[in-house]
Structure 1
């Protein structure tokens, strides 16, 4: 079945519906590509994002991580616990506040970060192969507008 027929088959007869279907399908394919590449590292895709965020923002709090990655503080806590038990990070309680932990990436974690960054770069390069600079800029602007539209719509609902 062709892409357009497949989109219509999924109950999306409008242009917005077809584009939304293609967006979700592309997102699923990107996730599958990344998951396949990072699967052998022993770290889940969401944990890779967290590790790389920690690498770029070494002294941030769990609340800051949650806000930046747009996930719940509880999800951050669970991921940090799994990363710690896997030997990818260490957490030490700070002297000034027993509730605050200083997170340090271990050599094992650094190795995963280096491999992950390479894998993500390769995936991004493949994803945008054949796109001109102008097309990339247009696509960026479109995604930013889509995001802002969705954010505005969500705020209306709240």
Structure 2
């Protein structure tokens, strides 16, 4: 039993180390590009959902609307994003990526893709498939979804709601 606990702890530490290394290295390579770590996901989401609202992006990124408003303001100031007031609702802001934003996001994406290729260098297709299956199962363990999921993996924006529901169900089972 103690061995399993130790292995779980080591695996969790490795996942954390990987996440931190990825963040540190990618921050260094993209330094001075006006697009900071975490903002690439935002710009890519908006590019794929042109005209979306700040609230939609906030929900998808699992951040508060206030946090997304600040991020959008910074991206707009850097010339990467355009915010326009929605004609039907003056409180609503519609977002789109500027040509400069598209260019910068593409360059940053290239660095990210290169890093990912380097990370998995030497892994066979079978090993990558096994790793993806393990990670998928871990996501299902966290969200409470059956494995393998029936309709694909949970989009990140829905993860928070699923986690709350899963927690609520566990608490219900404990009471009964």
TM-score class, shorter: 0.7 to 0.9
Report the Cα offset of residue 67 of structure 1: 2.5
Give the TM-score normalised by structure 2: 0.76
- Give unpaired runs (5+ residues) of structure 2: 145-161, 169-176
Q: What whole-Å deviation, never above 9, does each CA across 1:91-127 have from its counterpart, x for those lacking one? A: 1112111112221222221221121121111111111
Report the counterpart of residue 6 of structure 1 in structure 2.
Answer: none
Does 2:25 align with 1:25?
A: no
Q: Number of aligned residue pairs: give it.
A: 147
Relative to structure 1, the CA distance from residue 154 to residue 92 in structure 2 (aligned partners, 3 Å threshold; closer, same or farther) is: closer
Partner of 2:52, secondary structure, is coil
Aligned to 1:73: 65
For residue 128 of structure 2, what is the aligned residue in structure 1? Answer: 136
TM-score of the aligned structures, taking structure 1 as reference length: 0.83
CA contact (8 A) 2:52 2:96 kept: no
- Secondary structure of the residue aligned to 2:38 is helix
1:122 aligns with 2:91: no
Unaligned runs of 5+ in 1: 1-11
| Cα deviation 1:5-43 (Å, max 9, x = unaligned) | xxxxxxx96110111111101111111121112112022
2:153 paired residue number: none
Partner in structure 1 of residue 44 of structure 2: 52
Q: CA 1:96–1:38 in 2, change beyond 3 Å: closer, same or farther?
A: same
TM superposition outliers: structure 1 runs of 4+ over 6 Å: none
Q: Which has the higher contact order (CA 8 A, sep 6+)?
A: 2
